Structure formats: C-alpha cells, structure tokens
Amino acid sequence: MHIIHGTWIPDDQHEFTQRGTFYLWVETDTLQGKSRRHGNTVHPRHLVDTALATFLMEKLGLQESASGALAHTLQTKYFLLPTAVGKPLPSFELQHYVDEEMPTDFDLTPWQVCCYRVSDVITALNDIHFIALHAAEDFQMGVDLSFWQQYAQALKGIIAKDQYIPALKYRELPSPTTKGKGKKADNSPSFELHPGWELLSDTYETTIQRYVAAMPVVCTAGLNSPDEAALFDKESLLRHFSECLLHDIVTGTPFTAKFDQQIGDTILYQSLHPSQLNSVQTSADALEDYKHWLVWRANFTRAHTQAGFTLCFRLEEASATDADNWQLHFLVAAKHDPSLKMSLEEYWSLKPRMRKETAQPFGQDFEKQLLLALGYAARIYPTVWDGLATDQPAGCRLTLDEAFAFLKESAWVLEDAGYTVIVPAWWTQRSASKHP
C-alpha cells in the first residue's frame, strides 16, 4: 500500500516577502532501504528518486518532458514525525497495512524524505483527489493531503469571488551608519515597500479559523533542514499558503495590453507585474503612495464594517411591453434591525431636514458611508457606476440580458461580499428547485 502525503513548506530564505512550495511524498508498507544515509536520518518507508518518479507517472499521470527528467526535479525535505525505538511510526493510514504494535510514547524527530515539488497546487490536488476516489490502485491520500485539498478548494472559491485587493507591504530597514561615526548615512532609505495582494473578507477570516481548528498536526511538520526541528504555527502556515497561492493565481492570469496600458503607473499594475519591475520601492513618492493606500484600505474596510446599515439591491422585473427596462433599486437596511429598510429613492425625495432625521437609524455620516458602500459595490458589479452618475443615486436600469447575467452570477457575488440582494420570487423558486 502507498500513502500519498503532502504539505506546504515556506522557503528557508528569511526575506520580507517569503515564498513557499507544496511538496508530495509517498509512504509505503515495505522498507525501502537503510534508515541512515550520509549521516542524515532517512525515512525507511518512503519512495526515493526513480521509484517516486515512476509512481507519480504511472499512478497519478504526471508527464515528463524527457526520459528521466522527473527524477532529476525531486528534492530532499524533512518532516518532523512521531518516532520510537529509532524509527518513524507508520502514519495513521498505513497502520492498517503493517504488522507493528503502535507505542503510546514517542518523540518528534526530523526524517529525510524525497519529495516532488508541485507547481499548480489547486489543479494537482484536485486531480489526485479525483484519482484517489475513482481510480486508485494500491494507494490512498494521507490525512495531510486531504486537508490541503479541501482547504485549497475553499480558498479557490474565495478568490473566484474577488475577495482580495492589491496591497503594499511595508518594512522598516535598519538604519545604516557611516563608518566609525555611528551616524546615519546620507540618502539611505529607512524603509522598503513591496507590492502584492491581500485577501480581505469576512468569509476568508471565518474560513481560516474553521480550518485552523481542523488542521492535522502533520500538516505543520514540513522542514527545509533537520536543524529547524519545530512545527509551524497552524494559522501562520495557512495564511502564508493562501497569500502565495493568491499571488500565483492573480499574477499568472493573462491581461490584454490595453488593460495594462490603462492601469500603468498604478499599484494595480505593480501588483500584477512584480517580475517586470523593481518591486522594492524606497522613494519618498512611494511612501506617499503607501499612505494613500492605507487610507483607501481603511475606507474599504469601514464601508463594510463600520457603517450602520447594509447596502441592498432589489431587482424589479420589466413590464411585458418593455422587456429591456429592468430596474435595480438601491436600498439600505439597519444593522441593528435588518427589517428596517429604506429605499434611496424615498430618501432623496425628502427635504434636507427630514433626511437627517430619517437617516438616524442607519448610523452616523450616513450619506458619506452610503457613497463609500456604493463605490465599493461598483468595483464588484460595475453597472452600479451607472447609478452613481447622479449626486442622488437611487438605482440603475438593466437590459434583459444584463438582468439575467445579474441573476445568474453578479447577485450571489454581491451577497457573498456582504450585500443583500432581493430578486423576483420566481427566480428564487427556480434556484431552489435546482438545489433540493
């Protein structure tokens, strides 16, 4: 029997923007050789070199560009595993296939393992999961690999709903000194900025906490060196994995030359194309950009968390005589009492003095928070910009095609971002019939 294991290991370069890699290795029910090689403790039950490459090709369908190429890409890593009497204990999955009595006392010891470096993590884990369920021959997934596959799927759903923003990461630098004087060198930067991406949503934070609680300890056991004999912190490891995958997915997405031209000289371009630029920024102008980004991020977060209302969208069906005249109305619902709703059309029709009184249940700075909320909703569903063409936004018009596109996709994207969407009853019934 073969047990496929895998986990995420951050790179050992202690840089500000640290990368990482997902590694696979295979545990077997038969001893593969001596447990010591060149002074290092080598796991006695793992597939090595050609045997691992052959398994990956024959069982998991991996392809190689030339004969023997896959074996040359394998890397040595270490895993901190339960150990007794000088040997690693079989994993929980393998215990059913070996005739060994499991001790109750053990130590954690780093064991050298031959690993395969996974490039497209989400696709690879899904493929392995599918094969393990439907076409497995003499192998199964370890609990560590199963966990990462499930989390990667959850993360994929969050990224697909655009719950992330371009970001700037700031780090202060040690102050260099002039030789022998102990004074700061002239014109030396005191900070550096790195463009990147940040996951930003309540769904992401809830998902992180749920998976931290469910994470098997073995997922934190990967090491680059036997000298790093410590388990990773679960939450830090999950967040690092998430940020690195987000970076790879976003920067690996092709964009048109026209789009790149439109976003030139912006943080968005810097975050999308870090490899084309000197991504480390140290100038005074860059520091100003960072301050503006902090304000923008704070406003973005405040629009969702500090407003006293939830922004609502109600889709009104067109009449039979004017099929392209659907209306998307803007409303607000009080957070302390969601049943208390007010349409913006009703609000703007009031006299200024009455507006102030009517807005009280919906929190302070109502109009400012309202425009912020609409602006950020427009980033998710750009048609909202049409309603913002006036200083008293109350809604926007949709054609028949736009209305159905809204019902099929944009509505649930907005809902997942924290907005409330109200659609015709017949569409709700249709959706329910598809998902019994």
Query: What's residue 35's pLDDT?
Result: 46
Beta bridge partners of 257: none
Query: What's residue 166's pLDDT?
Result: 86
Is the model's pTM score more than 0.95? no
Stretches where the chain sits below pLDDT 50 are 35-39, 432-436
Query: What's residue 36's pLDDT?
Result: 45
The DSSP bridge pattern shows strands 87-88 and 395-398 to be unpaired
Q: Residues 195, 270: contact at Cβ < 8 Å?
A: yes
Q: Residues 230, 207: contact at Cβ < 8 Å?
A: no
What lies within 8 Å, CB to CB, of 403 at 6+ separation is: 315, 317, 318, 326
pLDDT tens by residue, 96-116: 888 777 777 888 999 999 999
What is the distance between the alpha carbons of residues 146 and 235, in angstroms, rounded to a whole number?
A: 18
What is the distance between the alpha carbons of residues 162 and 246, in angstroms, rounded to a whole number?
A: 10
Closest CA to 282 of 196, 195, 190, 197: 190
Query: What's residue 33's pLDDT?
Result: 58
Q: Residues 319, 325: contact at Cβ < 8 Å?
A: yes
Distances (CA, A) of 324 to 117, 132, 172, 320, 352: 53, 49, 55, 10, 34
Q: Residues 121, 7: contact at Cβ < 8 Å?
A: no
Question: Residue 38: which region, alpha, beta or left (left: phi > 0; alpha: psi -120 to 50)?
Answer: left
Query: What's residue 378's pLDDT?
Result: 85
Question: Residue 226: which region, alpha, beta or left (left: phi > 0; alpha: psi -120 to 50)?
Answer: alpha
What is the distance between the alpha carbons of residues 86 and 169, in angstroms, rounded to a whole number?
A: 45
Beta bridge partners of 3: 27, 140
